[in-house]
Amino acid sequence: MSTHEPYIEMMAAQALGALEAGESRSLENHLAECAQCRTLSAKLDDTAAALAYSVEADEPSPEVRARILEKIKAETRTTGTPETGVSQQSAPSNVVPLTKPTRSFFRTVLKYGAIAASIILAALIIATVLLWRQNQRMKAEIAELNENANRTQTELARERELVEAVTGPDATFLRLAGTDAAPRARARLAYDQYTGRAVLFAYDLPPVPPGKAYQLWFISEGRPPMPGRVFTTDATGRAVMRDEVPANGRDAKIFAVTLEPEGGVQSPTGEKYLITPAS
């Protein structure tokens, strides 16, 4: 149940005039903080007010009521209803005396009219709540679809970058072999010497211990190793890591992968797991 559900019930009760004082205070506090519920509450109040107005407008006017009463009196005289003090035996045996239905008639009409109006009001309030909930679900679904679309676009953009990195005219491909720490491990590195974009495809690396991660290094002659990004592998020891070679490291001829703290370090401290054969 969402946090709105109890208050939706309170708003429906309020529109029907059946909300208790304690719940009314709780609802007021919630409406002060929730814009969605304020919108729904206003719709329910408008629905109740519109129905109340229509019920009042349907009540007979004094002129119509007078004409109805006069017609009833005329019918009473025509049927020969006896006057006061005249013996009931003088009336024809097949005539049923009419009673005055004036006040009770209108009370009955208004009573059942009020009941019908309450039923209609309850139905309208329920319909309003259901439509509001449907609208909220649709908004949530649209937001989720937009999020999925944005995620897909981001993934497609990354895939385009990957393809460009490994198929561009300035792409360089290097093979990294496993060391004694991971003799079965291997990797291929593709990077664009012009843009610096790089993609590392690693295979059969050992699982990463907790708090650790693999880190790529760019090593140029006569300079300290330059740090690349950290990455982890899946359950099969595979990894695809995108990186960007720094401008002053694009002449690197040696690339290595070491095991480091998961946040990465500026200088290698861990054991090498992958390295280019040239080293």
Q: What is the pLDDT of residues 252-271, one digit of tens each?
A: 889 999 999 999 999 999 99
Residues 102 and 218 in one domain: no
Residues 17 and 126 in one domain: yes
Q: Which of 122, 130, 117, 135 is nearest to 54 (CA)?
A: 117
Q: Which two tokens stand for residue 208?
A: 């990463």
Angle at 47 between CA 43 and CA 53, to 5 degrees: 140
* 117 in a structural domain: yes
pLDDT of residue 118: 55
Q: Is the pLDDT score of 160 beyond 70?
A: yes
Q: What's the average model confidence in pLDDT over 175-195?
A: 91
| Single residue among 117, 140, 163 that ends a domain in this structure | 140
More confidently predicted of 80 and 129: 129
pLDDT band with cut points at 50, 70 and 90 for residue 229:
very high
Q: Which two tokens stand for residue 199?
A: 């993609």
> Percent of the chain having pLDDT more than 70?
56
**CATH assignment at residue 245:** 2.60.40
Q: Is the pLDDT score of 179 beyond 50?
A: yes
Question: How many other C-beta atoms lie within 10 A of the C-beta of residue 183?
Answer: 10
Residues 122 and 16 in one domain: yes
Residues in Cβ contact with 199 at an 8 Å cutoff, skipping those fewer than 6 apart: 162, 165, 166, 189, 190, 191, 240, 241, 242, 243
Residues 120 and 208 in one domain: no
CA distance 122 to 143: 32
Identity (one letter) of the amino acid at 92? Answer: P
Q: Which of 268, 212, 270, 264 is nearest to 243 (CA)?
A: 264
Q: Which of 40-54, 59-73, 197-211 has the highest mean pLDDT?
A: 197-211
pLDDT band with cut points at 50, 70 and 90 for residue 85:
very low
Residues 184 and 116 in one domain: no
Q: Which two tokens stand for residue 188?
A: 């291929």
pLDDT of residue 82: 44
* 163 in a structural domain: no
* 164 in a structural domain: no
Residues 51 and 117 in one domain: yes
Task: Write 134-140 long-range contacts (CB < 8 A, 24+).
Answer: 136/36
* Residue 222 per-residue DSSP state: T
Q: Is the pLDDT score of 212 beyond 80?
A: yes
Instruction: Give the domain range for residue 260.
Output: 171-275
Residues 176 and 134 in one domain: no
Residues 83 and 198 in one domain: no
| Single residue among 140, 159, 194 that ends a domain in this structure | 140
Tally of structural domains, the chain: 2
* Residue 87 per-residue DSSP state: -
Q: What's the average model confidence in pLDDT over 156-162?
A: 70
pLDDT of residue 11: 67
Give the pLDDT confidence of 10-33 residue by residue, as tens digits.
766 666 565 677 777 777 787 888
